[in-house]
Structure 1
Amino acid sequence: MQGKLHLIKLSVGTEDLSGLEQWQKGQRLLHGREHGLHITRMWPKRESELLSGGSIYWVIKGAIQARQRLVRFDEIIGDDGIRRCGFVLDPEIIATTMATRRPFQGWRYLAGNEAPKDMPKSRASEPDLPDDMEQHLADLGLL
């Protein structure tokens, strides 16, 4: 995903990649949606750059672990009358190599050269390493 502009967001309350997938699938079924939706207060000023192949990268337990392609941004007006931004997400969640991140509020832009690489599809059938070991290897730049 080099050269593109992305977003990065904490997946609060998510314990692992499977938890993110299950939660989003449940939300899509509950609301009858084809795509994932994340609602936030702020609208990205760099919308056109993000929609030119950008993704949202999810931080789970202190490390980027996955991404989803950004499809579009929808205006959402809440019951309180406040305009919000709905990040419409491709339902496919793509595992990435781990990259540590400190906690932060809201979402941030992420330059393509700072985004971790997608996990090779060939590794999908490999058993998961314990989180602390995978995190340590990522810190060393080995994952």
Structure 2
Amino acid sequence: MTLHLVKLCVGVESPDHLRALQHGRRLAVGDALVHTTRMTPRRADEIVPGGSLYWVMTRAIRCRQTILDLEPVTDPETGRSACRIHLDPTVVETEARPWRPFQGWRYLSAEQAPPDRRAGVATADDEVAAMPEEMRQALREMGLI
């Protein structure tokens, strides 16, 4: 059974924003797309191959990227263990699924994972994107989006 990871994407407003940030990083460090996290998943054999990293943005899972590899590493400066999550650069938008803030990452079963968003189908995300920024900010502060 495939297992996924879910992680907060702090400071990122949308899948398009994530794409732009990652594109800039890939230009700076080459084609490798790696996200480093402090802990290595103990259930790595259930994640690779086939698992994805689901990104939480503005209190909802909004997109995912396929996990290509999980690489345990040691930070040479601090001596602390860490994990490099090698990601496919393709950001796949999903149907928005509300998700509360948390620290680190969490496991996500295949049954819990939101489905990929179908192209050409309007969603609540589209309606929110069409709102004025002030309205979106007020709704975020109230915890409604």
Shared fold (TM-score, shorter chain, > 0.5) = yes
- Return the offset for 1:29: 1.1
- Return the offset for 1:48: 1.0
- Confirm whether residue 37 of structure 1 aligns to residue 34 of structure 2: yes
Matches within 5 A, 1:110-121: 110-121=108-119
Identity value in percent: 40
TM-score (norm 1): 0.82
Partner in structure 2 of residue 71 of structure 1: 68
> Secondary structure, in 3 states, of the residue corresponding to 1:129?
helix
Letter of the aligned partner of 2:6 in structure 1?
Answer: I
- Is the contact between residue 34 and residue 86 of structure 2 (CA under 8 Å) also seen in structure 1? yes
> Secondary structure, in 3 states, of the residue corresponding to 1:76?
strand
- Return the offset for 1:74: 2.0
> Secondary structure, in 3 states, of the residue corresponding to 1:58?
strand
User: Unaligned regions of 5+ residues in structure 1, if any?
Assistant: 136-143
Identify which range, 57-66 or 73-82, moves more after superposition: 73-82
Identify which range, 100-109 or 114-123, moves more after superposition: 114-123
Structure 1 Cα separation of the partners of residues 20 and 85 of structure 2: 18
Q: Give RMSD over aligned pairs.
A: 2.2
Structure having the higher Rg: 2
User: Unaligned regions of 5+ residues in structure 2, if any?
Assistant: 132-138, 140-145
- Return the offset for 1:75: 3.1
> Secondary structure, in 3 states, of the residue corresponding to 1:48?
helix
TM-score (norm 2): 0.81
Structure 1 Cα separation of the partners of residues 61 and 34 of structure 2: 19
Matches within 5 A, 1:91-102: 91-102=89-100
Q: 1:4 to 1:80 in 2, by over 3 A?
A: same
Structure 2 Cα separation of the partners of residues 52 and 38 of structure 1: 17
- Return the offset for 1:16: 1.3
For these two proteins, the number of residue pairs brought into alignment is: 129
Letter of the aligned partner of 1:62 in structure 2?
Answer: R
**1:46-80: CA deviation from partner (whole Å, max 9, x where unpaired):** 11110031100000000000000000012333222
- Return the offset for 1:22: 0.7
Structure 2 Cα separation of the partners of residues 109 and 97 of structure 1: 18
- Is the contact between residue 13 and residue 57 of structure 2 (CA under 8 Å) also seen in structure 1? yes
